[in-house]
Structure 1
């Protein structure tokens, strides 16, 4: 029996919530915010899983499960031409950057504010 799901931290909400293929199709795949954050940290920011898990305030095992699910959903959407909708998940926007200003998003915000 699974325990209570722990709230995951993300750096920011993302403006782009829907990705649509050129072919108009009603079918869609929903990716949760915490899944997108895990993909961003590991695949885009190239963080190792230990650092990404710390940034999201979850265990490395939980991060691995989130990544597996998110990668499956993205691959399915790409191969089958499905829309991708980003919504839901157990998360909160972190009040402080937990990635120690190392992620591309945080570095960009620091440069813009200087």
Structure 2
């Protein structure tokens, strides 16, 4: 019997959900909210995977799988000229203030 999937903690909802290619406005690749959060924490914030996994309240191995999946999808969209749609995923948005210490750029805006 498989384990229940644990939701991932996300600092806040992303405002921009659709990015369109100039040439191909019909085809999209879907990146989940938790995958985008993984990219944001590691690549934008510059946080190590161990710390980013703690912030999302998941194991480092799970975080790494999410991050690799997100990077592969983003690379495919860029190389093939497809749009990107942000939707879905198993996540919970942090209410009130986020648990990030030090506060990330997303939390500083709240």
Task: Spell out structure 1 runs of 4+ moving beyond 4 A.
Answer: none
- Report how many aligned residue pairs link the two structures: 109
Matches of 2:2 and 2:71, distance apart in 1: 22
Q: What is the TM-score when the length of structure 1 is the normalising length?
A: 0.89
CA contact (8 A) 2:31 2:73 kept: yes
Q: CA 1:65–1:8 in 2, change beyond 3 Å: closer, same or farther?
A: same
CA contact (8 A) 1:101 1:107 kept: no
Residue 88 (structure 1) aligns with: 88
Q: What is the TM-score when the length of structure 2 is the normalising length?
A: 0.92
Matches of 1:78 and 1:33, distance apart in 2: 18
Residue 105 (structure 1) aligns with: 106
Q: What is the SS of the residue equivalent to 1:9?
A: strand
RMSD of Structure 2 on Structure 1 (CA): 1.3
